[in-house]
Amino acid sequence: MAGGGISKVFAQMSPARGMLDAMDCLFCKIVAGTIPAKKLFEDEHAIAILDINPQAPVHVLAIPKKHVASLAKTDANDERMLGHLLNVVRELAVEQKLGNGYRVVINTGANGGQTVDHLHLHVLGGRAMHWPPG
């Protein structure tokens, strides 16, 4: 079958999940290439893009290709995917020259400040971070 944008979105969906979630999802569309983003990394399971509204000199998002709404929606079967994302983050940090340190954030749910309902890891660096966060 031809690999158009929408068929790529379908390809990311697991049968157990409603189709509408992925079809409506901003990061699924970025993964599929139907919405543009500055991609820093891509492999079979994940991409990393520049955040459109950076909160630090370096602000990258590591995003699984599979549509998962949030960390709260993962389970033990996602262990490899979650570990892989952390490996991607570590390699990105080296590539982005964040040897002085960086912060990895997973906003989860309403109180966590999550605004895009597709799991993603923020990688923030290039300046000193504050604690506690807001």
Taking contact as CB under 6 A, which single stretch among the options 5-13, 80-88, 114-122, 126-134 is the one that binds ligand AMP? 114-122
Q: Which does 110 bind (CB under 5 to 8 A by kind): ligand AMP, Zn ion, none?
A: none
67 binds Zn ion (CB under 5 A): yes
Residue 78 is classified by DSSP as G
Judged by CB under 6 A, which of 53, 77, 100, 111 binds ligand AMP? 53
Of 6 and 26, the one with the shorter C-beta distance to ligand AMP is 26
Rounded to 5, what percent of the chain is helix, strand, coil?
30, 20, 50
Q: Are the CB atoms for 48 and 60 separated by under 8 Å?
A: yes
User: Which residues in the 83-112 window bind Zn ion by CB under 5 A?
Assistant: none
What separation, in Å, do the N-terminal and C-terminal C-alpha atoms of the chain show? 47
Residue 83 is classified by DSSP as H
Q: What is the dihedral of CA 12, 17, 18, 21, to 10 degrees?
A: -50
Instruction: Please give the Cα distance from 125 to 134 (Å, whole number).
Output: 17
Q: In angstroms, give the least distance from the CB of 8 to ligand AMP.
A: 17
Q: In angstroms, give the least distance from the CB of 77 to ligand AMP.
A: 23
User: Which residues in the 23-52 window bind ligand AMP by CB under 6 A?
Assistant: 26, 37, 49, 51-52
Instruction: Please give the Cα distance from 1 to 80 (Å, whole number).
Output: 29
Of 37 and 98, the one with the shorter C-beta distance to ligand AMP is 37
Residues with catalytic function:
120
Positions touching Zn ion (CB under 5 A) are 25, 27-28, 67, 118
